[in-house]
Structure 1
Amino acid sequence: MDHMIFEVGTALLLVAIASVLASKLKFSIIPFLIILGMLVGPHAPTLGIIDLKFIESQDMIDFLGRIGVLFLLFYLGLEFSVPKLIKSGRNIVVGGSVYVLLNFSIGLAYGFLIGFPLYETLITAGMLAVSSSAIVAKVLVDLRRTGNNETELILGMILFDDIFLAVFLSIMSGLLLGGATSVGGTVLSVGISIGYMILFFIIARKGTKILNKLLNIKSNEIFIIVVFASLFFIAGFSETLHVAEAIGALLFGLALSETVHSKRIEHLVVPFRDFFGAVFFFSFGLSIDPLTLGNAAWLAIGAAVLTIIANIVSGMIAGRSAGLSHKASTNIGLTIMARGEFTIIVANLGISAGLLPILKPFSALYVLILAIVGPLLTKESKHIYNVMNKMFKWSKPQEKVKMNGK
């Protein structure tokens, strides 16, 4: 037991070092932690008393990673707001619909093209359709674009994408984890998942007063114990209904999102989300053998190229339909391109259901490529727009004004 604690401590120290390095380079920590996990593990050397194989502590690290998924989706549920989406208007609904439909359709086509079975194809489509809220938000802040005209639409499209993620995971959870073998059983499993989700929607809309009263706890210590105990109980109970534990966490967050305590919960949850979320990405990389990546390289590169094209096109359609300039529309497509935490969660659902093992290295490489390339393309959006403008001739370059008659 003592050695296992030392191993876990070593793993967490590595996670901390990688996170500091990513921060120094002003980059998302997600690719750093996945690569770190892949570099250590069963194939890594032993350096004196420091064992980088993490064999004894593997189960503990995996469990901490599962907690990370719960906190990530619980926080997403807290941020989730259907009334906010409705109030945001037609532009966000149109832009979000175009974004999700185009990326999901390309994912379906790609899955069938590379010969994946139906369920693996659906998981691939889901992977390609969900952006990384964390990376997108970080890019907007780092590039100081929060005040840009297109930023409201970008955030609205991300919110719409999050809603799609909730529905998609609920349906796929019923399909993959329900254990049904007949058409009727499959319909029943999906129906239970959707019904479970609708129940939490109703609680969020109609049960706010009761939740406000139940959570009216002055002590932060007792408050966080009550909230976290409920979170883990609901996540575990969800699995008994063959609904993924992560979905239970998301739906519980959704139920609390309209309460007067939501901001207080968010404030208390963020440190746990960040810490355990980091362990999740590390543990995901730890479960991948680098020697298997070669088999998935071309699959991931192909998916990344299609995603880049689909995002630029959907961003252009969304921006132009909202009356934004071609330049602002280009910014939209480039900004929402990054893939990260939610893509891995979608892939993990398929992996946990026993689908093709290739999904793990495929999803890892796909996320690594776009978590790195996405922010870089966003940073260079001005130059990319200029190149595209020369190709499509959207606007004529402005002539330089002559000064003093010269």
Structure 2
Amino acid sequence: MDHMIFEVGTALLLVAIASVLAGKLKFSIIPFLIVLGMIVGPHAPTIGILDFKFIESQEIIDFLGRIGVLFLLFYLGLEFSVQKLIKSGRNIVFGGSIYVLLNFTLGLAYGFLIDFPLYETLIIAGMLSVSSTAIVAKVLVDLRRTGNSETELILGMILFDDIFLAVFLSVMSGLLLGGATSIGGVLVSVGISLAYMLLFFVIARKGTPILNKLLNITSNEIFIIVVFSALFFIAGFSEKLHVAEAIGALLFGLALSETEHSKRIEHLVVPFRDFFGAIFFFSFGLSIDPLTLGSAIWLALGAVVLTMVGNVTAGMISGRRAGLSHKASTNIGLTIMARGEFTIVVANLGIAAGLMPVLKPFSALYVLILAILGPLLTKESKHVFKALNKIFRWSTPQEKVKNTDN
């Protein structure tokens, strides 16, 4: 234990270096941090006083990573609200439904095709169905597409996907962590999860005045202590009810999103989200032995191909239904293709429940490939559209395109 602080400091220094490198390359830090964690760890060499195995500090790094998940989902809950859902509109509901149903169905078909058991198949279907909010938002900003005609639909579909994630994790945590073996027991566990989630929706809609009064705290120091203490208590209490702790964090963020203090909380939580979130991706990579990835490479590549087909198809159906051009519709499918933090959260639920070990290398490869490929395809969307247009002949050169992109 004497060297634990030094080990943690070394790990954080490596995380900082990888983050700076990703920033210089103007790319998402997620794949950099996962690869970094995979390179070091128990199989890494010791160079002088620098021990990159992180054996003594493994537990503390894992715990810091768990905190990162809580902050990521807490912030996500703050970002969307019940009111936003009501105002989303038919196009967003239609687009989000098509996106989730198509990808989830492809995931189910893939899981059964490779002869995975039911629970593993459901986890894979969930992994294929959730995009990376962080990467999508970063891509839209970096490529200056926030004003594009398709961007509102993209953000709406991501919002719908986030809601699906909350429901999916609630149901699966009831199934996997509830300890139920009979059909009745499973239904009770799932019912508790859904009722718990519904309770927070009610609080978000009806309890706002009370929350406003409780959080009317002048001192930022006391304010952040109160909010974060409640966050960790609710996450821990959720786990006691066999609801994933991350979902407890998301639901608490949802409840606070309707209050007049939501922007203040967002401002204060962002540094913690970014810092601990980075450690989460690093710790995830740290737990993966690169030598085991070979066993999942073909599984991951198959899932990547299905995701590409499913996303472009969903984007085209949703965009055209909303009256957007074929080009803008192609942009939708490419932009929401990236997978990242939430895919790993879904995979971790299966891993924590003791499902097949291959889920860990499979999820790592799947996220790595699409965290890199997604932003690249989005950046080159003009060329992707031209290539697809030659095949499907959606539009002629004279057809007016309703959006422009960079």
Corresponding residue for residue 253 of structure 1:
253
* Alignment check: 8 A CA contact 1:34 1:282 kept: yes
Q: Kindly provide the CA deviation profile for residues 216-258 of structure 1, in whole angstroms up to 9, marking residues without a partner as x.
A: 0000000000000000011111111111111111111111110
> Which residue of the partner structure matches residue 168 of structure 2?
168
> Which position in structure 2 is the counterpart of 1:129?
129
Q: What residue identity is the alignment partner of 2:256?
A: L
Specify the alignment match of 2:76 in structure 1: 76
Equivalent position of 1:144 in the other structure: 144
Q: Which amino acid aligns with 1:26?
A: K
SS class of match (2:320): helix
Q: CA deviation at 1:133?
A: 0.4
Distance 1:175 1:393 in 2: 46
Note the C-alpha offset of 1:390.
Answer: 1.3
Distance 1:397 1:243 in 2: 53
Structure 2 matches for 1:199-348, cutoff 5 A? 199-348=199-348
Task: Work out the percentage of aligned pairs sharing the same amino acid.
Answer: 85
Counterpart of 2:157? 157
The residue aligned with 2:55 is: 55
Deviation at 1:123, TM superposition (A): 0.4
Moved more, 272-281 or 387-396: 387-396
Residue 82 of structure 1 deviates from its aligned partner by 2.6
Counterpart of 2:47, as a letter, is: L
- Who is 1:191 aligned against? 191
Q: CA deviation at 1:398?
A: 4.0
Contact 1:338 1:374 in 2 (8 A): yes
Structure 2 unmatched ranges of 5 or more: 400-406
CA contact (8 A) 2:82 2:204 kept: no
Contact 2:178 / 2:189 at 8 angstroms: preserved in 1? yes
Number of the residue aligned with 2:43: 43
Secondary structure, in 3 states, of the residue corresponding to 1:180? coil
Once the two structures are superposed, residues 187-219 of structure 1 have per-residue CA deviations (whole angstroms, 9 ceiling, x without a partner) of: 100000001001111111111000000000000
CA–CA distance in structure 1, aligned partners of residues 175 and 393 of structure 2: 47
Partner of 2:395: 395
Q: Deviations over 1:241-287 (max 9, x none)?
A: 11111111111111111000011000000000000000000000000
One-letter amino acid of the counterpart of residue 26, structure 2: K
Query: Structure 1 segments of 4 or more deviating over 3 A?
Result: none
Q: Following superposition of structure 1 onto structure 2, how do residues 110-125 of structure 1 map, counting pairs within 5 Å?
A: 110-125=110-125
Matches within 5 A, 1:345-384: 345-384=345-384
Residue 48 of structure 1: CA displacement?
Answer: 0.6
* Match in the other structure for 2:403: none
What's the offset of the Cα at 1:119? Answer: 0.4
Is the 1:85–1:92 contact (alpha carbons within 8 Å) kept by the matching residues of 2?
no
* SS at structure 2 position matched to 1:11: helix
> What CA distance in whole angstroms lies between the structure 2 residues aligned with 1:58 and 1:288?
13
Q: Secondary structure at the match of 1:43?
A: coil
Residues 200, 255 of structure 2: 8 Å contact kept:
yes
Aligned to 1:20: 20
Q: In the alignment, is the contact (CA less than 8 A) between 1:150 and 1:328 conserved in 2?
A: yes
Cα displacement (A) at 1:392: 1.4
C-alpha distance in 1 between matches for 2:328 and 2:398? 17
Aligned residue pairs total 399
> What letter matches 2:102 in structure 1?
L
Which letter does structure 1 place at the counterpart of 2:229?
A: A
Offset, 1:387: 1.1
Matched residues in 2 for 1:275 and 1:143: separation?
24
For the residues of structure 2 that align with 1:352 and 1:323, how far apart are their CA atoms? 43
Q: 1:283 and 1:136 mapped to 2: Cα distance?
A: 22
Q: Distance in 1 between matches of 2:244 and 2:382?
A: 42
1:341-376 residue CA offsets vs partner (Å, 9 max, x unmatched): 000000000000100010000000000000000000
Gaps of 5+ in 1: 400-406
**How much has 1:85 moved relative to structure 2?**
2.4
Equivalent position amino acid for 2:357 in 1: P
Q: Deviations over 1:67-105 (max 9, x none)?
A: 000000111111122321221211101000000000010
Separation in structure 1 between the aligned mates of residue 38 and residue 88 of structure 2, nearest angstrom: 41
Q: Is the contact made by 2:297 and 2:365 (CA closer than 8 Å) also made in structure 1?
A: yes
Q: SS where residue 364 of structure 1 aligns?
A: helix
TM-aligned CA deviation for residue 388 of structure 1: 1.2
Secondary structure of the corresponding residue to residue 69 of structure 1: helix
